Amino acid sequence: MNTEVARVEVAASRRWVVKVGSALLTDDGRGLDSAIIAQLVNQLADLRQRGCEVVLVSSGAVAAGIVRLGWPRRPASLHDLQAAAAVGQSILIQSYETAFRQHGIATAQILLGHDDIIARDRYLNARATLTTLLRLGVVPIVNENDTVVTDEIRFGDNDTLAALVANLIDADALLLLTDQQGLYEQDPRQNPQARLVPCCEVHDPSLDAMAGEGGALGRGGMVTKLRAARLAARSGTETLIASGRLTDVVALAASGAGIGTWLRTGKQPQNARKQWLAGMVRIAGSLELDDGAVRVLREAGRSLLPVGVRAVQGGFRRGDMVSCHGPDGREVARGLVNYSIEEARRIIGQPSAAIAGLLGYQGDEELIHRDNLVLL
């Protein structure tokens, strides 16, 4: 694996997901470390100054809540953990909002479960909200919705959540900040002589034997980071695992400096994204397009508007995958549809400006947005 090429490519990344683990943020469970938060926020503000978009995925709610409630250790009971997360989440978000405000940057709290990203209709909603926030210049701060999820809080798996967010917004790079310099050939807590892996193809099977579990806070360790990097690679996102304690780690990562462990996708991002979208779900229906719609999809890479659709078939709901055919019956594209079949029947053949009048509410102007469309 050519480390130099990898770093130069990643230095060109524009859309970043940065994930910060509890181990780093809470000094291994001793409450939120405001110095680390301030430092991190300064660095993310600088990244924004370079013209990059940033989504922050931050853990730390449970650890902050435990300290606020005066509990001596992490509880075993699921409901206690959920209560601690609820207490800690507001402390966490308040700390970030205060720190980002110093830079004139607004933040947004986004609480998600894995199901919110896997269910097709919620996927579209989450994607639209996140991309709208990025367009508005806001930094979304994502955490698990610990009040309602159970598996995630049990396994403490914000690494997977960060990867799913990277898929959701087609991030160019995923930066996993933790308390180690990167992935070592063996857990350095067990073998301090272990060597750092600087760069590797993400699907290389030799990595599995290297990655071990997490520290005292009982989380996923490098196992979930490696799994997250593999998930992120589905949408062409490159992953860097690095130490959040390294001075200027974000700037170093963004300039392609030789730090941490890069896990490369080995694929063109566009191809990876299309394959991922195409292989995602079963086809729930079909749309018959007119010649004009086929042409703009193929030649101009545009979204599919209701006006270019002549007929619809199947039993699809918002967020389902549908296939799009030309007048000659040949399949030209597949994509995630913004309306159910009942709604689609009422708006096809009509200009988007008429949607509000036809449905009684203003939905998306496209039947399928170009970001959710794969040409065949």
Ligand X SMILES: N[C@@H](CCC(=O)OP(=O)(O)O)C(=O)O
Ligand Y SMILES: Nc1ncnc2c1ncn2[C@@H]1O[C@H](COP(=O)(O)OP(=O)(O)O)[C@@H](O)[C@H]1O
Give the whole-angstrom CA distance, residue 36 versus residue 164: 25
Any long-range contacts for 247-251 (C-beta under 8 Å, 24+ apart)? 248/43, 249/43, 249/177, 250/18, 250/40, 250/43, 250/44, 250/46, 250/47, 250/175, 251/43, 251/46, 251/47
- Closest separation between CB of residue 152 and ligand Y, Å? 13
- Closest separation between CB of residue 41 and ligand X, Å? 17
Give the whole-angstrom CA distance, residue 17 versus residue 10: 13
Residue for token pair 């524009």: 14
Backbone angles phi, psi at 325, to 5 degrees: -115, 150
Q: Is 125 marked within a binding site?
A: no
Q: Give which of ligand X, ligand Y, none residue 269 binds (C-beta under 5 to 8 Å, depending on kind).
A: none
Q: Is 59 marked within a binding site?
A: yes
Give the whole-angstrom CA distance, residue 94 versus residue 97: 5
- 340 C-beta neighbours (distance < 10 Å), count: 17
Q: Is 27 marked within a binding site?
A: no
Q: Is 187 marked within a binding site?
A: no
Nearer to ligand X, 177 or 373 (CB): 177
Number of residues that bind ligand Y (CB under 6 A): 24
Nearer to ligand Y, 212 or 266 (CB): 212
Q: Which residues bind ligand X (CB under 6 A)?
A: 21-23, 59-63, 85, 143-144, 146, 156-158, 219-220
Residue for token pair 């709290």: 109
Q: Are 72 and 29 in contact (CB under 8 A)?
A: no
Q: Give which of ligand Y, ligand X, none residue 85 binds (C-beta under 5 to 8 Å, depending on kind).
A: ligand X
Give the whole-angstrom CA distance, residue 188 versus residue 196: 9
- Closest separation between CB of residue 252 and ligand Y, Å? 18
Task: Show the site string, 162-201: x = touches ligand Y by CB under 6 A, - = not.
Answer: ----------------xxx--xx-xxxx------------
Q: Give which of ligand Y, ligand X, none residue 143 binds (C-beta under 5 to 8 Å, depending on kind).
A: ligand X
140 near ligand Y (CB under 6 A): no
Residue for token pair 């719609």: 293
Nearer to ligand X, 105 or 223 (CB): 223
- Binding site listing: 19, 59, 146, 158, 178-179
Q: Which residues bind ligand Y (CB under 6 A)?
A: 21-24, 59, 178-180, 183-184, 186-189, 210-215, 219-222
